[in-house]
Amino acid sequence: MPLTLTRDVLLKERTTLRLGGPALAEAVVTCEAGLDELARALPGLGGLPLALGAGSNILAGDGPHKLVLVRAANDAEPDVSAQPGGPDGKTILVRAGAGLRLPRLLGLCQHAGLTGLESLTGVPGSIGGSVAMNAGSYGVELGALLTRVRVWTPEGGLVWREATDCAFGYRHFNPEVTAGFWLVWEAEFALSAETPTAVRQRMETVYEKKKTSQPVTAKSAGCVFKNPEGAPAGMGAGRLLDEAGVKGKRLGGMAFSTVHANFLVNEGGGTAAEALELLEYGRAAVFDRFGLDLETEVKVLP
Ligand SMILES: Cc1cc2nc3c(=O)[nH]c(=O)nc-3n(C[C@H](O)[C@H](O)[C@H](O)COP(=O)(O)OP(=O)(O)OC[C@H]3O[C@@H](n4cnc5c(N)ncnc54)[C@H](O)[C@@H]3O)c2cc1C
């Protein structure tokens, strides 16, 4: 089926924080023909479109939401091709669908001996959501590896955008095609050849580091706040929250993790109302202690 439409979909079933009330509808698109169908169907669905990937960076309100969740489900094995250039004379271009999960892409890179993405080990997002967030880890941002991106809009259909024509920032990406709705449909990354063993070792090192410093198996959305500009050296949002006494703070079923203070976790039966109250508590505590304003990294759907 190119396009599958479902009414009344619960966001708590689509997000890793397991929070969120019902959205009006969900549109799952598997191929380009499905995008054409979606363009025709959207006006009749009665809600604003919202691109949704793996839901690993979303805090959705208890709802209801007048939204149509648009999900790219193009998750076939990526196309891999070599071309001259890069530090060792050969760049490997990897073209992946937005619906492919980043962990799956990393697994394929490991087997094929492709290096570049290892720092993102443990990031559970889809390719589409990870590009849209310019996901980054241990100094590597996805945008730095992106060569071009294929973006869909209901008005203009699919277009390729060179990375140099897009805007990137800290957890920010904009393909600059429209002020309205856009969907990342495919992305192409420039990677390099390496031995599978060396790639695996780097991934293992990153994952070991994350396992000891982050609640990797908890129901979370990763870091909820961005690291603020102007903070003292070495003071990321997690450290600021920790020193402001927020680590482990609970409300109902929600809590700031005892492992990493910038991870809000759903310990079971948590609500978005509790999560939002805790976010405000954390923000106020850091402001009172350090005079710094924390900006949310997690996308809040009120
Ligand atoms: C345990 C854990 C660890 C994490 N670690 C990291 C980390 O180290 N670094 C990091 O940067 N993030 C991290 N995250 C957050 C999250 O995984 C990333 O932001 C991820 O890349 C988001 O991808 P997603 O598919 O889940 O996007 P979603 O959460 O579904 O959406 C996020 C945003 O992207 C938009 N979006 C989604 N898909 C598309 C699309 N196809 N086209 C256009 N817009 C789209 C959504 O509208 C929303 O604004 C972590 C999360 C968890 C749960």
pLDDT tens by residue, the chain, 302 residues: 999 999 999 999 999 999 999 999 999 999 999 999 999 999 999 999 999 999 999 999 998 999 999 999 999 999 999 887 766 678 999 999 999 999 999 999 999 999 999 999 999 999 999 999 999 999 999 999 999 999 999 999 999 999 999 999 999 999 999 999 999 999 999 999 999 999 999 999 999 999 999 999 999 999 999 999 988 888 999 999 999 999 999 999 999 999 999 999 999 999 999 999 999 999 999 999 999 999 999 999 99
- What pLDDT, in 10s, does the model give residues 273-293? 999 999 999 999 999 999 999
Domain boundaries, the chain: 3-72, 79-213, 220-301
**Cβ atoms 146, 110 nearer than 8 A:** no
Percent helix, strand, coil in the chain, to 5, is 30, 35, 35
DSSP helix/strand/coil, 59: strand
171: CA distance to ligand 1 center in Å? 9
Task: Output phi, psi for 99, to 5 deg.
Answer: -80, -15
Q: CA 185 to CA 42: how far, in whole Å?
A: 17
Return the CATH number of the domain spanning residue range 220-301: 3.90.78.10
CB of 72 sitting under 6 A from ligand 1: yes
Contacts of 240 (CB under 8 A, 6+ apart): 228, 231, 286, 289, 290, 292, 294
Domains 3-72 and 79-213 share a fold: no
CB of 58 sitting under 6 A from ligand 1: yes
Nearest CA to 160 out of 145, 142, 181, 146 is that of: 146
Both tokens of residue 192? 């390099």
Is residue 171 among the annotated active site residues? yes
**Cβ atoms 42, 49 nearer than 8 A:** yes
141 CA closest ligand 1 atom index: 11
CB of 105 sitting under 6 A from ligand 1: no
pTM (global) more than 0.95: yes
Return the HEC string of 135-162: CEECCEEHHHCEEEEEEEECCCEEEEEE
Catalytic residue among 26, 223, 274, 283: 223
CB of 121 sitting under 6 A from ligand 1: no
Domain 79-213, architecture per CATH: 2-Layer Sandwich (3.30)
Q: Domain 3-72: which CATH class?
A: alpha beta
